[in-house]
Amino acid sequence: QFRLVESGGGLVQPGGSLRLSCTASESSLGIYEVGWYRQSPGKQRERLAHITSGGVTDYVSSVKGRFTISRDNAKNTVYLQLNRLTPEDTAVYYCYVRPIWGQGTQVTVLP
C-alpha cells in the first residue's frame, strides 16, 4: 500500500554534502509526520530529525546545524540535506512514516 523510497546517497569526501530524498508511493504524504534515521555497522538505528505535517522540525543535537529536513508536498517528497559530513556519518539512512520504513540509502564518507 503506502511505500517509501529513499535516494541520493553516495560516496563523498569529508566536509562534503549530499541531499537525500524520500518519496512516497501515494500522493498524501503531506498529511503525515516524517522522520529520518540512520544505522551504521555495530550500532543501533538512531533518530536524526523529523518534520510534522505542519512543518515543525526537530533534530538531535549531534546533527543540528549540519542537517536540514524539509518537505515538498507537491512532489510527495521529504528531503534531508547533509552538510559538513565526517566519516562518523557513514551509515544507511532511512525515512519513516509510522509504521512504514523505506529500504534505505547508503551514505559513505571517505576517511
The per-residue pLDDT for range 52-90, each reduced to its tens digit, is 999 999 999 999 899 999 999 999 999 999 999 999 999
What SS3 state is found at 103?
Answer: coil
Q: How far apart are CA 28 and CA 63, in angstroms?
A: 28
Strands (DSSP E) contained in 3-109 are 4-7, 10-12, 18-24, 34-39, 46-51, 57-59, 67-72, 77-82, 91-97, 100-101, 105-109
In contact, 110 and 11? CB cutoff 8 Å: yes
pLDDT at residue 26, rounded to an integer = 86
Amino acid at 61: S
Task: Work out whether strand 67-72 and strand 18-24 pair parallel, antiparallel, or are unpaired.
Answer: unpaired
Residue 73: strand, helix, or coil = helix
User: What pLDDT was estimated at residue 11?
Assistant: 98
Count CA atoms within 13 Å of residue 100 on its CB side: 17
The per-residue pLDDT for range 12-56, each reduced to its tens digit, is 999 999 999 999 998 889 999 999 999 999 999 999 999 999 999
